Every structure is written in structure tokens, then in C-alpha cells.
Structure 1
């Protein structure tokens, strides 16, 4: 679990470090799309007045409607894990995350400055989590945080949701390896985990409310085995 958690922090640092480099962040007139969440924009296009709207406002991104968001899949996971493994630093990280998303709508100088602050907060979390001692119940708590009220509303897009179900599955496997959950018990709740995977089987069929419901059920089933 600690390896997975530190990996999330390192992924955030790597992405923001690349974004801060002018020669990498833009391609001529356009931004380098590597840094953005493509699936937040690539949705069904229909100009009929009764078309269903799949877009949801993301509470973790205080930014103008229609602005392409930064790919924050690892940022969301790090916010969840920080609640459990480094609660004293979680608030500062979340504040830096919101500031960064806000700055993306203000201009590149503001975004780069905010990226530096968020990267520093991620680095501090990485060091704190790497030095943390083992706690058998931490993986349960992180799974609960991922599907909890603070984080779950941020699963409005395909990419972050796919990262979430993979994270839950990774932590479930860690609990089995550590003997906290038996192989048989894990197999018994595999159907719930697979439903969460099915909800992100394709970006074209992704439905945010359906995914959040499936992830929540999987997390509750895992918690029942604690």
C-alpha cells in the first residue's frame, strides 16, 4: 500500500514538473494535450435540444465551464490517501490542488506558479508516506476514503474513475497478500469490484453516477471484511 501511495505522489510530481517546462507545455498555438484529461471533452456530440448532458461540474476543480481540465487522476488519488496516511498535510495539498485548477483559467504564468506549489505539496506527502510505519488497517481506510463523501463527487470523468477502481483493486490485493482478507473472502466480493470495472469499461459508455454507485458498493463490501 505504501508503494502505491508514494507512487501516486511521484506521478503528480512528474506530471507537474514536465508541465512547468515551456518547451513541453505547448505545441505552437495549442497547449500540449498530454497534460489534459481528454475524456472530459471527448463525449457524445449532439446539437438536439433534448440531448442528455453527461458533463458534471467537478467540485475539486474551481474553473470556468468548458475549460479543458488538467488530468488530475493521480491528484485525486493522492487527496484520498493523504486523508489517511498524512492527515496533517492533506488540507494543504487540497488547497494547492484547487489553486492550481483555478490558475489554469487565468494564464500560463499563474498556472506554472501554482503547479510549483502543488508539486512541493506532493513531494512533502511522498516523503511523509515513505517514512510512515505500517498499519494493518490503513488499506481499509484508504479504500473507504477513495469511495467516501469527500472524494467520490470528484469522479466526474472517465480517467479519474478508472484510476480509482484500479486503486481499490490494488489495495484489496494487498490486503489479501498481507493476510488481512482471505482469498475466499476476496473472491466472494469480486462481483462488486467487477461491476465498478464494468462502469469504466469504455469511455464512450461511462456514466458518472453509475460508476460512483458501483465503486461505493465495492468499497462497502471490502469494509465489511475488516
Structure 2
């Protein structure tokens, strides 16, 4: 069963309700807000949110604008609450040992993503690193906004006092990708993967949907937080921010600071990590590299090309030309990689904010779905990482068509299930199965009007 189809019924009903409301474009971020670990506000601990009259009720309140059982949802159902505990497991200790780390539970290299990690000067009396990725890791240090928030501040006032605007998908993507991709502040490298850490992947809409929702998207929520979005718009924003984040790393010293070899986390894992008898090389979207040449990890870059090609065709043409140049540069020199990455970064940064304000209509969502299906059919995205992003994108777009445009989702169930089966486990990945599923998806998508 694919991911969006397993969404709880009550969440689907709420999404349907929100889809019936007038479309509200996300207001632009006046400036890029500081991330919770960057802001100067003290983090005062999960316990300060967990009172029974605040967010610590065991059951949702019927007469409240918020559920008020958010703490228990996080503690019992959200994987973020267990992030610190993973460092204490046998696997966590083994990874640390392989890295030469004596104690993962006290190493900044691990704690920066497995906890709400902030400078010691910003840790309040009830702050506890053992809480894992707690409330303030995402919502921001509550030192200034907690009291006024309880007293009846507006959402805008809370943001002015340090609350992070998670309802805005652009801000949310920038926060999530710090740990789910890695940045200069929270670097994830090939050394960590080699030590046994699972490979990272991310898609904003899917990952938002599979998290246990500790909010109710109703008319009151929409009035307070009109920037909230799911489906096609969130998928678009997430892919562009992921591309921006990847290119930012590619242009940084991280690429070449380890000596003879470049930082391999920027390259496609599956170019090396598959059985040699599994003959699945393909020329790739850019047609720039031949067999045996290690390709940059271009999944998010490929998805961005799909998006721009439909929503901003002129920018899409420039993007695809620049992407081919980046792949050629990867066989030449570090300086040429950085120059090519900067050209792509300039394009995505010019388009990111305008596209974050643009609603995706039925025709555009359908065209994006057909383009993704064609990508799978052509075999030019045969690596596993890109194949999985094709699935994530198709699932998000079908969900958006179903919930926001009244499209019958039933004919898409089998193609999406087949796509999911093709990419469910890397060791079983079969590009031919992906291609077959993509053909079925395209056939159904072509029936939409």
C-alpha cells in the first residue's frame, strides 16, 4: 500500500474539508527566518509544553482550537521523540565506535541531529537533551513566546517573538533538510554512511503526511495559518529547496576538504553500491556521462527540472542546459563544479519564492504527473534514488488531484502500488518494474481532462 493511501481516514476528511475552502496563497516570508538552532532564544524544555491544560492532555479537546494532546502524540507516535535513544542502541554504539567516537550520546557530531541541540547558554533549567528532537527543535526556543502564546498572542505575534513558522512549507523545508540532507551546520558525510548510518532521503509532502499530525486543519487553523499547504505545492517547494540545499553544499568547501577524493556523499550511491552483474546503467537525464563515470546525486536536480519545465518553461530550459554542464564539470575540476553549481543555484533561487506563492491547478498537476511518468518510462532516471523521488512525486500529485480537484483516485491505486513495490527496498529495485508501473501511470493520467 502506497503512503498517501494509508493516511488515516480522519486526516483525509480534514484534507477534504480544507480543499473545499478558498485557496489561500502562502504569504511571502519577509526574510529568511533564523532556524530554531540559530535564533538567540532560550530553549526551556518539552516539560514546559506538557501540562494537562496546555498540550499534555491524553485526549484531544473537543471545544479547543488545538488538539491539546500534542505532547502525547509526539511522545508515543513520533519518531523524533526517540532520536536520542537511537544513540544508546547497539547499532548506535557500533556506528559511533566505527567513527572513533567514544560516546555517541555526548558527541556533538551525533547530537546535532538526534536532539534539540543548541549552545549551552541557550539551555533552560528544564531543557533535557535526552528528550530527543523535542518541541523547540522545530517550533523554536520558547523563552519569549511561551507566556504570550498562552495568554492569547496572535500567531503573527508569536512568530515575532521566536516561534518558527512551520506552517509555511518554504520555511519547513529549510528546517527539515538540515538533518534530512545535511548542511554546513549539520554536515552528513560519506564517512558516517560508511560507518553504518542509514542513507538519508527526503520529500517534504510525503514526510509531512506520514508524521503523526498534532494539529487539526480546519477553518480556524486556515484562518490563523493560511500558508499551510499539502500536495502538489508542497512537493514543488520541497524539491526546489532540496535542490538549493544540495547545490549550496556542492559549492562549499565540503566537496573537497578531505584530500584525494571528493566528498562522496554528493555522488549517486547506486553508481557504486549495486551488484556488478546487475546491468542497469543508463545515460541519465543530462546525457552527459558515459558508463563507469560516477554521477553526482542528481535526484532533486532532476525533479526540479521536471517542475520548472512545466511551471516555468524558460527557466526549465536554462536549468536542464546548466544541469548537463554540471555533470560535465564533475569530470573536470572542483572549480568548474562550483561554477556550474552556482549557475543552477541562481536559477532555483530566482524561481523558488515566486513558485512558493503559486497555486498548482489541475492542468499543471496533471502535466507534472505525466512528465514524471515519462521520466520513468524513458529509463533516464534509472538510479534508485531518482526512482524513489518519482514515486514520492507521483503519490503527492495524485493526492492533490484527488483532494483539491475532485479527481477519482481509484484508477491510480494500482499504478501507485506498483511504483511503490518497485522502489520499496533498494536491494530489490528493478528498473523494468518501475518502467512498467510508470507506463500504467501515464495511461491513467492521460485520461484526465
Shorter-chain TM-score above 0.5: yes
Q: 245, 258, 271: which one pairs with 1:27? A: 258
Counterpart in 2 of 1:66?
Answer: 292
Q: Does 1:213 pair with 2:436? A: yes
Contact 1:25/1:32 (<8 A) preserved: yes
Counterpart in 2 of 1:56?
Answer: 282
Superposed, which structure 2 residues align to 1:138-177 within 5 Å? 138-148=364-374, 152-177=378-403
Counterpart in 1 of 2:355?
Answer: 129
Contact 2:419/2:438 (<8 A) preserved: yes
Deviations 1:87-112 (A, max 9, x none): 12111011110000110000111111
Count of aligned pairs? 218
Q: 70, 76, 89: which one pairs with 2:315? A: 89
How far, CA to CA, are the matches of 1:134 and 1:110 in structure 2?
A: 35
Q: What RMSD over aligned residues (CA atoms) do the two structures have, in Å?
A: 2.2
Structure 2: give runs of 5+ residues left out of the alignment.
1-231
Counterpart in 1 of 2:335?
Answer: 109
Q: Does 1:119 pair with 2:342? A: no
Counterpart in 1 of 2:418?
Answer: 195
Determine which structure has more spread, i.e. the larger CA radius of gyration: 2
Counterpart in 1 of 2:427?
Answer: 204
Q: 8, 16, 28: which one pairs with 2:247? A: 16
Deviations 1:33-62 (A, max 9, x none): 2211101221113xxxxx552222224240
How far, CA to CA, are the matches of 1:192 and 1:73 in structure 2?
A: 21
- Alpha-carbon distance change, 221 to 25 in structure 1, aligned in 2, over 3 angstroms: farther
Counterpart in 2 of 1:222?
Answer: 445
Higher-RCO chain (CA-CA 8 Å, sequence separation at least 6): 1
Q: Does 1:36 pair with 2:267? A: yes
How far, CA to CA, are the matches of 1:219 and 1:125 in structure 2?
A: 27
Secondary structure, in 3 states, of the residue corresponding to 2:397?
A: helix
How far, CA to CA, are the matches of 1:54 and 1:186 in structure 2?
A: 32
Following TM superposition, the consecutive aligned residue runs of length 4 or more in structure 1 with deviations greater than 6 angstroms are: none
TM-score (norm 2): 0.46
